């Protein structure tokens, strides 16, 4: 079942924020079944839990396997929602590589966090696109009140 089919069966959320939160919960649920490759009970939207996301993506990299679109979206949503829970923010539409962008730091600054390209990059480029490292780059920008794009 593709992402489009999945979304058609569900009632569409009222906002992008609601939709992203729902997709992030779907990521957690996908790994909460017995025999899952990671322990879904540890997907608690903490910065440490991003190591589990990175582990899933590392498996795709090591096996030189293409990341399915639905997994790409829910993994991105989980990272987005981890950031939004910590830094606040709102979603805007992006471009082809990053269809959604989380904007944090307003009104003091405007930091665009582009997760979707980074998730895809992690499966093709390997550890150089490490997700926890990427996430760790958000806080200094927010604290320094610097306008930036993190991709």
pLDDT digits (tens, 9 = 90+) for 54-66: 999 999 999 999 9
CB 74 within 8 A of CB 110: no
- Interior CA angle at 112 toward 111 and 114, to 5°? 145
What pLDDT is stored for residue 43 in this prediction? 98
- Is residue 87 scored above 80 in pLDDT? yes
pLDDT at position 10? 56
Alpha carbon distance 4, 7 (integer Å): 5
Query: Would the pTM of this model clear 0.85, i.e. be above it?
Result: yes
User: What per-residue confidence (pLDDT) applies to 14?
Assistant: 80
Q: Residue 140 — left, alpha, or beta (φ > 0 → left; ψ -120 to 50 → alpha)?
A: alpha
Q: pLDDT-derived band of residue 1, with 50, 70 and 90 as boundaries?
A: very low
Q: What is the mean pLDDT of residues 72-85?
A: 98
Distance (Å, whole) CA 69 – CA 144: 35
Residue appearing with tokens 């399915």: 68
Q: How far apart are CA 110 and CA 129, in angstroms?
A: 23
Q: pLDDT (tens digit, 9 = 90+) per residue, 33-54?
A: 999 999 999 999 999 999 999 9
Q: What span, in angstroms and rounded, lies between the C-alpha atoms of 61 and 22?
A: 26
Q: What is the largest CA-CA distance in the chain?
A: 45
pLDDT tens digits for range 97-137: 899 999 999 999 999 999 999 999 999 999 999 999 999 99
């Amino acid at each position: 079942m593709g992402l489009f089919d999945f979304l058609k069966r569900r009632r569409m959320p009222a906002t992008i924020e609601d939709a992203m939160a729902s997709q992030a919960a779907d990521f957690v649920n996908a790994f909460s079944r017995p025999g899952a490759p990671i322990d879904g009970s540890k997907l608690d939207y903490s910065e440490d839990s991003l190591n589990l996301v990175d582990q899933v993506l590392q498996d795709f990299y090591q096996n030189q396997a293409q990341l399915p679109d639905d997994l790409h979206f829910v993994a991105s949503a989980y990272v987005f929602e981890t950031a939004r829970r910590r830094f606040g923010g709102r979603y805007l539409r992006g471009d082809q590589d990053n269809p959604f962008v989380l904007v944090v730091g307003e009104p003091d600054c405007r930091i665009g966090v582009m997760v979707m390209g980074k998730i895809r990059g992690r499966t093709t480029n390997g550890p150089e696109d490490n997700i926890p490292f990427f996430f760790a780059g958000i806080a200094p920008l927010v604290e320094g009140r610097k306008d930036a794009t993190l991709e």
